[in-house]
Structure formats: structure tokens, C-alpha cells
Amino acid sequence: MARKNQTLGEFIIENQTSFKYTSGELSRLINSIRLAAKVVNHEVNKAGLVDIIGAVGGTNIQGEKQQKLDVYANEKFIHTLTNRNIVCGIASEEEEDFIAVNSQDENNQNKYIVLIDPLDGSSNIDVNVSVGTIFSIYRRVTPVGTPVQIEDFLQKGNKQVAAGYIIYGTSTMLVYTTGDGVNGFTLNPAIGSYYLSHPNMKFPENGTIYSVNEGNYIHFPQGIKDYIKYCQEEKGNRPYTSRYIGSLVSDFHRNIIKGGIYIYPKSSKNSNGKLRLLYECNPMAFLAEQANGKASDGFTRIMDIDPVELHQRVPFICGSKNMVCKAEEFMRATK
């Protein structure tokens, strides 16, 4: 049972038995993510003070200009997860291929894999707007004690055992689920502890905030154009309010608290949308559904999509259940 202001450590211990795979390994995994997040948070919070912001000159496999903090966050999460010998494999937005951990050790009995977007919204780093880390955790499907294979990573989102995000905002929060609801923990930087500040988070079924990059409007499918016009017309509790931060974690976090919908559709510029299925859409969809929300590509439940490659992109509509249903209505009407 979640008690407000209990620490993350107390919460994990008290709720460990409720997790069906209870072996303490997942708890240790969440703890290692918690530690890495504190280290990254320290750098994010002082990014403006040291020469760590700005591009490193390279690009990641997405072809996106890598910001120094992207590289730093990626290294920190991979280092922490590898050194604490808890997982057998890691995939990251910043790594072209997956990383097999301790694959030469036939005694490697670790059964979890982690997929991460180490610093989502990184284009906001230099302008001091909040960014986040997203993680998704699965049990491996290939034999324990053997090197992980790509099929361990290409699992449907409905097989996730845990997922969450860290938001490096006005305060730093860790929000996660292990399939038994969503709980939010706020970091007290003075003592380095996370406290349960948002127990049992739920999306309001209805909301009045829509989050989409309307600069791409002319490239959107007709159904999305029609839904945006629906949000803007004078009727009932509309027009809705448009809020788009350019950081999925931040828009999602505001919408789960206030009610709202986030949309990154396919377009004539991005035929499958921009967001990555495995380490952005699936974990956020798991959180959304655990918080009484909904997540689809406009037609199919995100967590039912069969992945075909590690960095696969999908259209993404996520948030308050009734708002997502309405957007899907417009998409079906113009299919």
C-alpha cells in the first residue's frame, strides 16, 4: 500500500511481494535506475554552468545531432546497469545495436533486459527546458545463461514487466509502474532520497489540453487535422488549450496530472511518425494504461504492435481515455 512521503526504498521493499516475479532482482534494477537518475540529474541541473551542453559534433543512429548530455546520460545508465550485474541486455536510442551484458559468463543468470531513451527531449537542453529519461523492462525470452538475442528486445509492449520515466524539471521525479498502478517519487536533492509524492497516479478520463506540433499540420493525416479542428471549435468545454513542450516526458507528465492528449502522428515528412516504439511509446503506453489512460497509433493499441526492428517508429496518440477514443474516431472516419 502506498503511503505518501515514504521513500522509494521503503516503497520497493513493501511492494516487492505484490510483484509476481518477486525475486528482488527487479527491485535492484529499479534501484540502479534510481541511482543513475540521481547522477544524470546532477549534470542536467548544472548543464548551464559547465561546458557540458551543446552538441558534441557527432550524430546518433537516428541521425540526430547528439548533445553532450545525451552521450553522458547514455553512458551513465549503461555503466550503472552493467556494473551492478542485474540485466543481461540493454538497448538504447543512442546505440545502434543492443548490448549483451556479461554474455561470456554462463553463470549470468540475469533475466531482465532494459530499453532506454537516456535523454528524451534533448533539443531542449540548451534552452533550459525540462527533459527526461524513459525506460522499459522485460524478462528475456531466450535461455538464461546464454547471450541475449534480438528477439529478447523485439517483444510486444504488453510483455513489459516495468516501465517509467525520470523528468528533470523544476523538480526531479521518478514515475514508474510494475503493472500495479503508477506512482511518482520526487527527489529531495539535499539528501538524495526520492519520496512518494504522487501515489496511484491516474489520467482524468477527460481533459482539455492537446499536445501536438501544429507546425506540421499541413503534413498530418486528414483524421488528425479534423481532430485538431475539433479541439479548436467553440462548443461545450472547447476550445481546448494547446500545450506542447517538445519533450514527450514533460507533456505526458503534465497531461497525466491535468488530463490531456499527446499526439505525434505519421505525416508526409515522417511516414511512421517520429517516436520510437520500443523505448518511448511502449513504456509510456504501459504507464498510460496503468493510469486509466489509453495509447494507440490511431488504430491499434500501442502495446499490441509486433516490433520488427530495434529503432522502429510508430505514430503515437496517448493520454486521457475519452480524448484518445475521440481522436481514433476521426482517424477511422477518414481511413
List contacts with ligand P6P (CB under 6 A): 120-121, 123, 213, 246-248, 274-275
Of the two residues 38 and 253, which places its CB atom closer to ligand P6P in the complex? 253
Of the two residues 84 and 225, which places its CB atom closer to ligand P6P in the complex? 225
Q: Work out how close the CB of 195 gets to ligand P6P at its nearest, in angstroms, rounded to a whole number.
A: 26
Of the two residues 19 and 264, which places its CB atom closer to ligand P6P in the complex? 264
Of the two residues 121 and 157, which places its CB atom closer to ligand P6P in the complex? 121
Q: Work out how close the CB of 131 gets to ligand P6P at its nearest, in angstroms, rounded to a whole number.
A: 8
Between vectors from CA 259 to CA 253 and to CA 260, what angle results, nearest 5°? 85
CB within 8 Å of 212: residues ≥ 6 apart: 224, 228, 242, 244, 262, 263, 264, 265
Q: Work out how close the CB of 276 gets to ligand P6P at its nearest, in angstroms, rounded to a whole number.
A: 8
Of the two residues 112 and 286, which places its CB atom closer to ligand P6P in the complex? 286
Cell of 286: 504501459
Q: Work out how close the CB of 42 gets to ligand P6P at its nearest, in angstroms, rounded to a whole number.
A: 22
Cell of 317: 496518440
Q: Work out how close the CB of 237 gets to ligand P6P at its nearest, in angstroms, rounded to a whole number.
A: 25
